[in-house]
Amino acid sequence: MLREMVRSLAEAKIAPFAAEVDEQGRFPQEALKALVGADLHAVHVPESYGGAGADALATVIVIEEVARVCASSSLIPVVNKLGSLPVILSGSEERKKAYLGPLAKGEAMFSYCLSEPDAGSDAAAMKTKAVRDGDYWILNGVKRWITNAGVSEYYTVMAVTDPEKRSKGISAFVVEKSDEGVSFGAPEKKLGIKGSPTREVYFDNVRIPADRMIGAEGTGFATAMKTLDHTRITIAAQALGIAQGALDYAKGYVKERKQFGKAIAEFQGIQFMLADMAMKLEAARQLTYAAAAKSERGDDDLTFFGAAAKCFASDAAMEITTDAVQLLGGYGYTRDYPLERMMRDAKITQIYEGTNQVQRIVMARNLP
């Protein structure tokens, strides 16, 4: 029922704008309005804070169905979870009430600030600093590759509070867009997900109350990594949706396209390609749903499964979308059809929330 409801909404209110959003590189405002209206923009927020209280699997299904028609729009529920999960996992009751309520109501979006110009895969090498000043912290630094930056009202920011302790000297804070000293760089000109703004975030003597710290001092990096264990599954979900959208479109096309006197769907070479695409997609979906169940239960092997789902699903999405472009031949290479967009959008799922090379390191260190 949930899948049918989200698919119906996505096809009616998000899909019609997907090509335009990509072409113009603009934020998918129509999608935000539709998702907020249906309470699908941040389904993971617990009911006790005014949210829908969706479990990890339901959240995956929502993201998957939105991504099936528009990857950029799927980053609304994806990044709302990524940005707010540190507050849910480690924040005080006061922080939860202050920030999860407006998020659940659709009054604010949440972003996640971990990466920096010189700290990507090696996130512990970050240089953004937070210095204590009485009842306040003063933040200075730059964060890069921040999804939905400038649109989101709230930002979970990782900053160094004790440079001597490396990862154990990093703390997490909530910074608000309206805080004095917060500013944004120009939107990045990207290969895909063009409707989701990606910008640098600058902190210039940003003074925030001490109670905006998430969890205890020095626990920020651990919270960041624990968050990614759960949210990598949402990237797997996004990859599944993009791949499903590409497969669905290609299936319809090959039944209509005729060459040598018959539909190309009747040729074994085409049938084998479609079979392989469907097989990879279903394997990725089963792994992702198993990982989502582990996320919900908090299983000990979640770190492995989260990395495996993200890595496998994103690799599958890249292969499936590339094959879908091939099935349309020259038409697949044009912007008149959605597959070239899906192929471009799929690529980022192999890169963000930890490159697939890093996922393999994570898996190797956490072999079940």
Calpha distance 275→153 (Å, rounded): 44
Q: What is the pLDDT of residue 262?
A: 98
Task: Indicate the DSSP class of residue 186.
Answer: P
What is the average per-residue pLDDT within 213-233? 98
pLDDT tens digits, residue range 96-121? 999 999 999 999 999 999 999 999 99
Q: Residue 262 corresponds to which tokens in the numbers above?
A: 């018959």
Partners of 130 in the β-ladder: 139
110-218 has the same fold as 2-105: no
**Structure confidence at residue 73 as a pLDDT band (50, 70, 90):** very high
**Structure confidence at residue 359 as a pLDDT band (50, 70, 90):** very high
Calpha distance 14→33 (Å, rounded): 10
3-state secondary structure of 174: strand
Is 353 labeled as catalytic in the residue annotation? yes
Out of 64, 116, 200, 353, the active site residue is 353
pLDDT tens digits, residue range 161-183? 999 999 999 999 999 999 999 99
Domain 2-105 superfamily per CATH: Acyl-CoA dehydrogenase/oxidase, N-terminal domain (1.10.540.10)
Task: Give, in order, the Cα–Cα distances in Å from 106 to each of 13, 76, 97, 156, 366.
Answer: 17, 11, 14, 17, 37
Fold of 221-365: Butyryl-CoA Dehydrogenase, subunit A; domain 3 (1.20.140)
Domain boundaries, the chain: 2-105, 110-218, 221-365
Region of residue 39 (phi > 0: left; psi between -120 and 50: alpha; otherwise: beta):
left
Fold of 110-218: Butyryl-CoA Dehydrogenase, subunit A; domain 2 (2.40.110)
Q: Would the pLDDT of 368 be above 90? A: no
Calpha distance 230→268 (Å, rounded): 40
